[in-house]
Homo-oligomer: A and B are copies of this chain.
Amino acid sequence: MSIKNAFYAQSGGVTSVINASACGVIETCRQNSDRIGNVFAGRNGIVGALTEALVDTSLESDADIAALKKTPSGAFGSCRFKMKSLEQNKREYERLIAVFKAHNIGYFFYNGGGDSADTCYKVSQLSEKMGYPVQAIHIPKTVDNDLPITDNSPGFGSVAKYIAVSALEASFDVNSMAKTSTKVFVLEVMGRNAGWIAAAGGLIEDYNVPVLLLLPEIDFDQNKFLAALKNKVETHGYCTVVVSEGAHYSDGTFLAEQGTRDSFGHAQLGGAAPVVANMIKEAHGYKFHWAVADYLQRAARHLASASDVEQAYALGKVGVELALEGKNAIMPTIKRLSDKPYRWEIGSANLADVANVEKMMPLDFISVDGFGITDKCRDYLYPLIQGESYPDYDDRGMPKYVVMKNILVPKKLEDFVI
């Protein structure tokens, strides 16, 4: 019982590179098998820890673990589940400790965004507050890029690349057709509170593509938008609009919540893109097309950014190394050393400073009219989409994505109802 085992879990919305972090964690643990025992992965995130559904990763081959680096999604399953505070739900923390004890777990690697940083921080306090020694390390991950302190978060760079390239390709398409057909293309992207992803769409201006961004940071002003759009179409013959799902009016109402109803009068959950497209049609009569990228954007491992994949792996690896150095309540971070050429190194942040802090896009990243990005933003974004890290493909033309065996270790405890 002297060598402790590790627990690893994926949390929240998955990304195209979160498995690269898993790969970094597991490979580094395997390389240090004299100091860390088995890695148990939570089946469906932290829920797996509470229900004692622990994947025995020692049963996964080295080749399959290596293939995680090129496979999108959460290979062990993720979850949306935020633990309450120790005071509010002591029962869950006692259960965690029971599971950790039963399986000799001394390392807790939690791979997620803001909510997970908070959970990870709470687990890091178990040692002090409940006398169970565990080192909790948070591995950052979020397509929203809203974690503080770290220069960027794994998952974002690849989404940014996907959106920039896709918006460019679709804009070329619209430009081809605009003379007699579609003049406006509206692309809806993720980003409920922060406009980081939509900002990536602004990069296509560097290709002389007329583009307007609708960011959650800027209250939507319909008249101003429609005037700006008309100007773009009259100047360039067409226009692309990239709208965040979180774009909203000054009263906080989302564009996507326009109270649309079906023929039976039922409220329809719609997207922001069709709302914007219809608004343009009504005001100017332009023929439009719209797309909603949704999960396609965050799952698009086929177009991952090489720097994103590399960082996702490195953060997993360094997370384990920090644990081996005896650290607790910490998150490895990306520190940017220079934009051109892009140089970065791994730093670290205290989880107390990370938990529940949301990093918004700086206002000097947004152009004066509110519909574009500044050069400062461009300098920030380009390094994150640098390089292409392609998956391998089989002879039939499909990517070779790995599926874990996900065999659970035998349970030692009673069932637990969440």
Name A's B-contacting residues (CB within 8 A).
10, 13-14, 16, 44-45, 47, 71-75, 77-81, 161, 164-166, 168-170, 172-177, 179-181, 185, 187, 203, 206-208, 258-263, 266, 268-271, 273-275, 277-278, 281-282, 289-296, 298-303, 305, 307, 382, 385-388, 390, 393, 395-399, 401, 403
Q: In whole angstroms, how far apart are the Cα atoms of A75 and B179 in the complex?
A: 13
- Collect the chain B residues with CB atoms within 8 Å of residue A393's CB: 387-388
Residues of B within 8 A of A295 (CB): 169-170, 173-174, 185, 289, 291
Contact present for A388 and B385 (CB under 8 Å):
no
**Lowest 6 CB-CB distances: which A-B pairs, in order?**
A74-B176, A73-B172, A259-B263, A291-B294, A169-B299, A385-B397
Assembly CA distance A397 to B385 (angstroms): 5
User: A275 vs B270: C-alpha distance in the bound complex, in angstroms?
Assistant: 9
Return A16 CB to nearest CB of chain B, in Å: 7
Partner of A166, one of B296, B385, B388, B395: B296
A277 to B161, CA, bound (A): 28
Q: Is the CB of B72 within 8 A of A172?
A: yes
What is the bound-complex CA distance between A215 and B175, given in angstroms?
30
Residue A289 contacts which of B73, B161, B294, B302 (CB distance < 8 angstroms)? Answer: B294
Q: Are A173 and B278 in contact (CB under 8 A)?
A: no
Contact at A386–B396, with CB atoms within 8 Å?
A: yes
For residue A92, give the distance in angstroms from its CB to the closest CB of chain B: 15
